[in-house]
Each structure stands twice: as C-alpha cells, then as structure tokens.
A and B are shown apart, each in its own frame.
Chain A
C-alpha cells in the first residue's frame, strides 16, 4: 500500500480547499477496491469464525444443541480445559513436527519435479504432468483409501511385492506416519510443482544463459538464480503448505481409523473433530479450533515478517 500525496503547487486558495478531499479520496480508494472481495469474504469467513469464537466461550454440548438444557457462558473455561490437557500438548507437538516434515518433503519433491518438468522432453513432460494432475484431482478420501489398500497387512500390493505379507504398516507410530506422510505429499506436491514450473517458465532465458556463460553449474544456477527470482512464489507455496499440512485430517482419519493404535497417530484436527463431534463437546472443540487458527495465523505472520526484515516483499 503506497499513499502518494502530491504537494500542492500553484495558486494557494483553490488547492487548499481541494487538498483534504483528494487526500481523503486517496485514503479511501484502497478500501473501495477491497469492497467487492470483502463483501464475499466477510460473510463467508466472518460468520463461521465468529460462531467458532462464540461457541468456544459457551458450555455447548449435544443437550444444548437439541434444546434439552440451557446454554451457559463459561468464559475461558473451555480454553483452560484445552490448554490444561496433557494430551492436547502432545498432539500439538506431534502435529507441528509432522507438518514441518511434510512441508519440507512437499517442497523438495515439488521443486525437484518442477525443475525436471522444465528440462524434460515433450513426452516425459506430458506423462509427468498427467500423473501429477491425476494425484491432484484424486479426492483425499479416495487417495487415502487406495494407499491404505496398497499398504494393507494381508492383501496389500506393497507387502506382496516386498514379500513381507503380514507386516502391519500402521502398527509402529513412525512407520505409520511415514506412510501417511507419503500419501499427503503425493496429494499436495502437484500444486507446488505446477506453481514453481509456471514460475520457472516465466524466468527470462537470458538470465539463465548469462549464469551459464559465467560458468555456473546447474546446482548453482538453481540456488543462486532460480530460487531468488522465484522467492515470492516460494513464499506463497510455503505458507499454503504450512496451512494445509497443519490441518491434515482426511489421510489420518481414513488410514488410521481415527488416530491409530491407542491414538498414537492423532493430529490436532482429528483431535478437535473427535472432541467436538465424537464426544459432542462442541464448545471445547471450538476452543481447539480457535487455538489452531491462532497458531496458523501466528506462523504465517512471523514468516511474512521475517521476509520483510530481509528486505524482500511478496
């Protein structure tokens, strides 16, 4: 947002009167431009979020929903209950670590394939794009179920190929997270790949040529030329990935039957869902939702701020 105010020049009296009005219009203009978007976004996001916040300060369970008991205001009681729950903290840590690993993996796979895509010949490029588009288009539910079949203990293709029938991939916590992580990356890398590929296509060939003439290796021109040029895109992709991976739900819920053995594979979203809907503690579940939203906002803001500090804008 840049507000440029032109210094008044020329005859004094008329501009004196006109200046505040112009300035006021200049100030208002960005808000006017935002209006159409706000008209759509405010009801769409504002209402659910305000309801979420509102529910989180009430004792709101099934009995209240269907009118059996009156709704009571409990202030920050739900938040105290959530933050005082040891399980919440262990699930939160687990979610953060899992999401961080997913973001790194998604980015690595997506970026590597974007580079491959930009260098591949026509047929391999088409095949790779088609495979990626198919993964992207597959609904999370379907994809998870198919992966689950692939890794099935008794009948799974993976176990048959590896000759380890009877091996339960979802028994050990970290092995299970590995399989689920692979599924999530498989679902989300195409977005990263396509975005970065589009970015790479837009990088003027002359820059890369110049780097090559200066004797830069492929590795060097990737890190020293492509990455800096694509930084705004990468920022968006990273933020998107953080948000998606922090909120991962379907894959965990489907593949581990709602959190795995003794709930060892639970993540925050599954935990919130089970608290809110499984146990009909809608107030408590909303509090978890609010905490999660705040965490995501904080992470995103910190990330953008860090970028500004380094003197780069979006």
Chain B
C-alpha cells in the first residue's frame, strides 16, 4: 500500500515538474539598442584562402576606428559549412552571444528572415548615397516579405574553367555545348588517365543546378522531364571514363575546386571567387574560363546567382555604428578592394563597370550574368532541402547506380514537396 502511495507521489511530482516546464517557451527577442561606443562584433565567412580578405577587412576597420576612436571592431570568421546554421540559430536565440553584423549567404535569407534575426535596413539603404547604385535584382536577393535584411556585399557566378595546356596538347577546343563538354571530358580522360575529364561532385548542388535549369527543369519540379534530362546529363559525367563515381560521388563543390586547382582535372565548374585558390596551385597560369555551355551553342546554361549580404542583427546594441560599418564595407571603395583581394564580383553597378574595363578575367562571368541567372526558392523550405541533402542524395543515388534517374528524381521531388509542406 505504502509503496503504491509513494509511487503515486512520485508520479504527481513528475507531473508537477512537467507542468512547471510547461509549454516550451519562446524567448522574448530583444530589440537591441543604439550605443555609440564599445565593441562592434562582426561575423564574416571563412574562406579557403582567407588572408587577403582579412587584410582588406583590417584596412576597413582601421579607417572606421580612426573616425570613431571610442569604438573597437572585433571580427570572427565562421565556417561556411552547414554548421553555420547552428551558429546563426544560436545567435538569434541568445543575443548575448550574437554579433552586431553578420555576413550571410543569400540562400539562407528566407530562413533567417522567418526567424526574425536580422533588422530591416530599408530606410538606411534608401537614404545612403551609394544605395541607389546596387543592382535592383540583387537587392531582391536581400529582400523577404518586402523588408530589406541586409546590403548585398558581393555575388559569385560559376563558369567553366579549363586547362589551356591540356586542351592545347590534345588539340581540343573549349566546349560550346554540353554535348561537346562531355565529349571533351571523355577525350581527356582517355588520353590523360591521370586527370579527371571534369571535376564534378555528387554533393555539388550548384554545379548540377545549371544542367537542370538548362534542360528546362527546376528545383520545385525535380520529376519533370526537363529536370530528369538535366540530372542525367550531370550524373553521366560521374562515370569511369570521365570522373569515376568511386572518387567523385562524394565530392563537394569545394573539393572539386581543390581538384582543379591541384591540377588533377582538365575542367571544373568554378566560381569567379575561386580564382585566388586556383592561382595558388599548380594550375595557375594554365587555365582559361568560358561560360558553362548550354545544350545549344551561344546560350550558356543559366548560372546560380549566389552571393553574400551584410546584415545587421535585430538584437544589435550598436545599430547606427553597425549600419555605418556595413556601408563602409559594402561601399564602392571596399567592394573594389574585395574584388582585387578575393575576386568577388561587386554588387554596385559602377564598381562592376569599372572593374570589367580593367580586368578581362571578369568577361565570361559577366557574360554568364547577362545571359540570365537563376536563384533557389526564397523560402525557408530551401534551407530544409539543402540541409536534408535532397539534391546531393538524388545525384549520388544515380551516380552510384543505387537508383535510376526516375526513382531518384521521384524521391527527391517528394522530399521537396514535403519541405514546402505540400504533401
């Protein structure tokens, strides 16, 4: 009897505990403040070759602190790996560990906006003299629900890098269509078995998407005939006579950059922002760039217009200072410096025009942009799709023969629908 009673008491106690914990609480999000002194904390993305970026940022900090002697600027470099989501969520949930300014990928915007982590900078950017110079399409990549959650800092566009020495030695022409690209890749691998025909990877979503878009497919309709054609075209490159699945199925975009930069591949789908990494390796001086060809000559495959924005956190305690520092970093002077240091395409039209005239390297990328770029869905669902590795899983299943193109695309389309909450 007694024991039963004690058990009852325990159960009651447990129930009380549960009640006390009650409904999981949502922390009140603090609106931040506007201190004019102290430490402005900045999160910037780490890069494979960070030193030049760090130098430019240090220069900007020097200029900023010279004008605001009572302010210090503290920069932390955070990884671009999926772990960044954890860092950002942590910052949103706990303002005490959050920075004032953060660089973030525009693909993550929808999720961060839904989480309410960034401040609306619409008014500040409109009243900023250089604000009107930002490409209108690019401002859209920083806008969600009519609010501007940051200043586009730079964009990156991918194109086809190829090794001029290898192509010259084998008497190959730079490919003008996707068909020619596949043929050239096969020819290279056949005659130079030490090289991959083209470095592609099963986890390289932004390398595969142009193939899908070019064939008329789309992320939201992965089981459409166009998407299937694109998936097939891309995964066909992961075959023993071009880029063996044993080696290539697991590769990320970053690893394909390393392969090309390391001189292990005759071609690669790399961004303008990868230039410094390639120039630091054995492929330096032995490569050229053309727009990634589409299925018909003259129309490049639509590239993904990825880029990074500089946002001010809603919880920032230094609102004005933070906005001023963002305007400095995203202003023309430092956009040009960032291009010189990292090869990042500027978002200010005037800066782009100035640099294009100066550096012919930019031409294939600007041609690609002119031919039309595409973007991932501006919806929190995209982050889910990205994190669940829906597209890499689809590509890897096809490349390793675990599933046919039809099965893999059906499965991926179902996962995409589920992410959008449509199923």
Contact = CB atoms under 8 A, between A and B. Distances in A.
A170 to B, nearest CB: 7
Contact of A71 (B24, B111, B202): B24
Interface string A48-60: 0011011100101
Interface string B1-24: 011001000000010011001011
B168 interface: no
A226 B370 CA distance: 78
A67 B29 contact: yes
Interface residues of B, number: 42
A229 B383 CA distance: 56
A90 interface: no
B26 A279 contact: no
Contact of B114 (A27, A68, A259, A277): A68
B117 interface: yes
Nearest to A257: B250
Contacts, number: 112
B24 A60 contact: yes
B82 A278 contact: yes
B373 interface: no
B26 A262 contact: no
B213 interface: no
Contacts of A67: 26-29, 116
A46 interface: yes
A159 interface: no
Interface residues of A, number: 42
Contacts of A259: 389
Contact of B387 (A63, A153, A279): A279
A135 B388 CA distance: 33
Contacts of A68: 114-116
Contact of A66 (B82, B115, B402): B115
A257 B201 CA distance: 14
Given A67-B28, A277-B86, A171 B249 contact: yes
Given A50-B21, A278-B388, A280-B384, A66 B117 contact: yes
Nearest to B394: A262
Contact of A168 (B250, B389, B402): B250
A18 B7 CA distance: 25
Contacts of B396: 261-262
A70 B25 CA distance: 10
B363 interface: no
Interface in B231-250: 245-247, 249-250
B245 A66 contact: no
23 contacts: A24-B2, A47-B21, A54-B21, A62-B89, A62-B114, A62-B115, A64-B24, A65-B26, A66-B115, A66-B116, A67-B116, A68-B115, A166-B246, A166-B247, A168-B246, A168-B247, A171-B400, A258-B389, A261-B400, A262-B202, A262-B393, A263-B393, A277-B85
